[in-house]
Amino acid sequence: MTKRDNTLRNRISALLALLATHSALGQSAPAEPAAAETDNSVLQDVVVYSERRAKGEAAQRVPMAITAVDQRVLQDTNSVSVADIGALAPSVQTTPVGTFPGFPNFSIRGIGVNSSIRSVDPAINILQDGMVLAYQAGAVVSTFDLESVEILRGPQGVLFGRNATGGAIVLRTRRPSDRFTVLGDVSYGNFNDVNVNTSVEGPLGSPNALGKLAILYHYNGGTIANTNDGTFVPAKFNPTGARSDHATGNVGDIDELVVKPTFYFILGDTTRLSLFTQYQRSHDDGTITRNFQPTGLPTTQVTTDYGFTPDNHGYSTNVGNVGYLHLSEQHVIAELENTVGPGLLTTNLAYRHVAYDSTSNLAGTPYTGFIFLDNVERNDEYSFESRYNVNIFDPLALTAGVFYLRSDVNVGEQRQTAGPAGAALPLVYTYGQFDQLTNAAAGYLNFDWSITQDLKLSAGGRYSDEKKRINYDPLTRCGVVSDVGCPQTALTAAKRWTNFSPRAVLNYEINRHQLVYASYTAGFRSGNYNPRTTDTSGVGVGPANPENVNAYEIGAKTTLLDQRMRLNIAAYQNNYRDIQQVLTAPGGGVVQTLLNAANARIRGVDFEFLYKPIPEFELSSNLGYTNAAFLHFNVPVAGVADPTELSFAKIPKWTSYTAGTYTYGAPWLNGSLSFRLSYDWRSKFATDLPNTPGLWQSAYGLTNANITYTHDAWSVSLYGRNLANVYYTETKARNFAWGDLGGAPRTYGLRAIFKL
């Protein structure tokens, strides 16, 4: 066993020992998932835990904008990872594309982070079984072993982990059952796409000790064709105009394995303990950038200095260095629940370790133009949360809690970039590194008061105290041959921020199936440092001060026609202040500045509709409208006369999704056949802050379909995604070359799900 393995084992052992010291706090049994309804003529409820109460509640009775997706919907929509669920909620983007592969780039209602600087906190919190992922590598997880996914739209300033300005995505792993059960989910598709997921669960020699082992494996041979196509002419660094001769074939390989042992212990009449453990490893290709040359816009350095002009051939590229991603993630989460007096005390302890090594070719050309070469990243995260739920007296309930997070991120960043246009030497090496330690603590209170039987008020607040200390070497230009002997300047910076975020929700139940509400919520995202600065004076690192959101929302949730129709609507306004923006030097240089650049107002409306006119047919739809407008810019934006006219980056004004499912059953089938057709549409959007011409994504729509045969606990599906093979991207860039990132061509395959 290696020294690293021993260190990890010791840390996990220490965590479990720490948990044992809290066993006296007590706990009552956790709320179990609602039993599946047998009446297929009505719409089913999904139990959610977003109010952090002692028991879950049906999503339709929770007065907030929340989209809840259970395992049935995940299977029906062929959602195999968290990145697939964005279409299922209005005004939500769950694209994983960024500078580096494997990192989410999520946004909700116009708020997200359009940056790959590792020291910057996310605006959308991802929580896995109560653990907030402060460093989000490896967060785009498989949905196979999840009981549910909850998408909370709007700031989460009181009840969830760290404060978040945009929202939260809550992942809940399925607890083991008390019967021996084997589940399987196997699929094979084009591009040699293989998913093999299985779990075994049941009692561990006692009805009071349950266990489950889930193993998830995914392989894909790459969806992007790497060619030697394009036009080559003699130029400065390619005097003969020779065509590139690198290996060709599909790129974008995925090779991922996840092992998830889960345990559930009944320790007494009032005590329950859940243990969630996970090992994840990925050996994938790096970021795959597809070159293009926009019509009527200037050529880039790859053309002027190397004589290469790419062909615009959709899902293909011409790249010499494909890059790689080696990701290793392990975590252990312990959730202890105990009845203490009249209430329930829930304590969550977690440890997570991530090792992330990668090479990412952001220019995506046959030549070295802009490569993050052999970058090394490490993160260790410890978190603790304890909350108490109690009914003080009949109409008044209290949720009170404390939270602590310690996250240590270490990043070494090396770049190979083309020298300035016209330079005598083709390559420049740049290197920088940082180690950032974050300590975040918070305390929160929330009261739920039943003013009358139908009128309820929920109000509370959260006090946050965050401190960051960063030791860093600014990005420094090294020798022209390699990074050997690169001069470094060791600097240190530290700062502490505090914040109080209030929340108030007033809701009125017209009847059990009709709810209206109005809410105010404040959100806060901590101040952040920018170690990518090239400034050696200690000023350029920052920090940028915290950004804040005051969110106002009114909404209605209605279930009509004897529970056969559901219509939810929410209108909101976010007053968004001191927005942290990354500004890049003109011409795509390596200099990036993180500033509190602007204030903005975001207004929008979300619709969700579900209708089951007959037991065999279900129609679902959502529509999101996001009107994000900058009100004021504190700094100039290069090349932009009036920055307040800019559109938000990567935020479509309109999103819509419609799906219809028809299920046909007959004795001669000895089962049932279901047909599902869906259409996901996004309006056009800019992909960078300056709204650069050529870096816009046009409006596009994706058509998906499933045909499924089900017999008892077995099902076989023929699926297809992006059936029209629409070409789209999720971000674009201009540096050494014009490039597209993200998007996927037509995929199809066969999927089998079984239960033994």
pLDDT digits (tens, 9 = 90+) for 290-332: 999 998 999 999 999 999 999 888 899 999 999 999 999 999 9
Domain extent for 360 = 3-35+43-755
Q: Which helix (H) or strand (E) holds 58?
A: strand 57-58
φ and ψ at residue 617, rounded to 5 degrees: -130, 135
**pLDDT for res 484:** 62
Distance of alpha carbon 527 from alpha carbon 406, whole angstroms: 16
Most trustworthy range by pLDDT among 40-44, 123-127, 220-224: 220-224
Report DSSP state, residue 28: -
Arithmetic mean of pLDDT, 103-116: 87
Spatial distance between the Cα atoms of 103 and 140, rounded to a whole number of angstroms:
7
Kindly report the average pLDDT of the chain as a whole number.
Answer: 89
Question: DSSP letters along 158-218, please?
Answer: SSSSS-BSSEEEEEEEPPPPSS-EEEEEEEEETTTEEEEEEEEEEEEEETTEEEEEEEEEE
Is it the case that residue 27 has pLDDT exceeding 50?
no
Q: Which has the closest alpha carbon to 90: 725, 706, 651? A: 651
Q: Identify the DSSP state of 35.
A: P
The pLDDT assigned to 24 comes to 32
CB atoms within 10 A of CB 200: 16
pLDDT confidence of residue 1: 43
Side-chain half-sphere of 550: how many Cα atoms within 13 Å? 4
Q: How far apart are CA 251 and CA 287, in angstroms?
A: 10
Q: What is the longest distance spanned by two Cα atoms in the chain?
A: 85
Measuring CA to CA, which residue among 136, 140, 37 is closest to residue 85?
A: 140
Nearest Cα to Cα of residue 68 among 147, 177, 128: 147
Most confident of 20-34, 52-66, 525-539, 585-599: 525-539
Is 527 exposed, middle or buried, given 0-12, 13-18 or 19+ CB atoms closer than 10 A?
A: buried
Q: Tell me, what's the pLDDT at 40? A: 79
- Among candidate residues 457, 449, 489, the one with its CA nearest the CA of residue 473: 489
Q: What is the pLDDT of residue 698?
A: 96
Examine the pLDDT at 14 and tell me if it is beyond 50. no
pLDDT at 83: 84
Question: Phi and psi (nearest 5°) for 400?
Answer: -130, 140
Asked if residue 16 has pLDDT above 50, the reply is: no
**Averaging pLDDT over each range in 113-117, 136-140, 577-581, which range is the top one?**
577-581
* pLDDT at position 479: 67
Helix (H) or strand (E) holding 68: strand 66-70
Strand, helix or coil at 7?
Answer: helix
Q: Looking at the predicted structure, is the pLDDT value of residue 38 above 50?
A: yes
Q: 601-620: per-residue pLDDT in tens?
A: 999 999 999 999 999 999 99
pLDDT score at 128 = 93
Q: pLDDT-based confidence at 583, cuts 50/70/90?
A: confident
Select from 311, 351, 428 the least CA-distant residue to 740.
311
Q: What tokens were used for 420?
A: 């300035």
| Per-residue model confidence (pLDDT) at position 344 | 94
Stretch 723-748: mean pLDDT, rounded? 93
Report the alpha-carbon distance of residue 50 to residue 164 in Å, rounded: 14
DSSP 528: B
Percent of residues, the chain, with pLDDT higher than 90:
71
- pLDDT over 80 (residue 9): no
Angstrom CA distances, 205 to 178, 210, 212, 590, stand at 11, 8, 13, 59
Residue 233 is inside which H or E element, if any?
none
DSSP annotation string for 559-575: EETTTTEEEEEEEEEEE
Please name which of 426, 528, 647 lies closest in space to residue 115, comparing C-alpha atoms. Answer: 528
Confidence of residue 76 (pLDDT cuts 50, 70, 90): confident
**pTM to 2 decimals?**
0.91
* β-strand pairing of 249-251 with 224-226: antiparallel
Spell out the SS3 assignment of 642-706. CHHHCCCECCCCEEEEEEEEEEEEEHHHCEEEEEEEEEEEECCEECCCCCCCCCEECCEEEEEEE
Q: What is the percentage of the chain residues whose pLDDT exceeds 70? A: 92
Token readout for 85 is: 């669920």
User: How many structural domains does the chain have?
Assistant: 1
CATH number of the CATH domain containing 25: 2.40.170.20
pLDDT number for residue 195: 96
Task: Report the C-alpha gap between 611 and 627 in whole angstroms.
Answer: 28
pLDDT digits (tens, 9 = 90+) for 459-487: 999 999 999 999 999 998 886 655 566 88
* Position 232 pLDDT exceeds 90: yes
DSSP symbol at 328: E
Residue the block writes with tokens 């806060």: 524
Count CA atoms within 13 Å of residue 441 on its CB side: 4
pLDDT above 70: residue 389:
yes
**CB of 462 within 8 A of CB of 500?**
yes
Q: How confident is the model at residue 704, as a pLDDT? A: 97
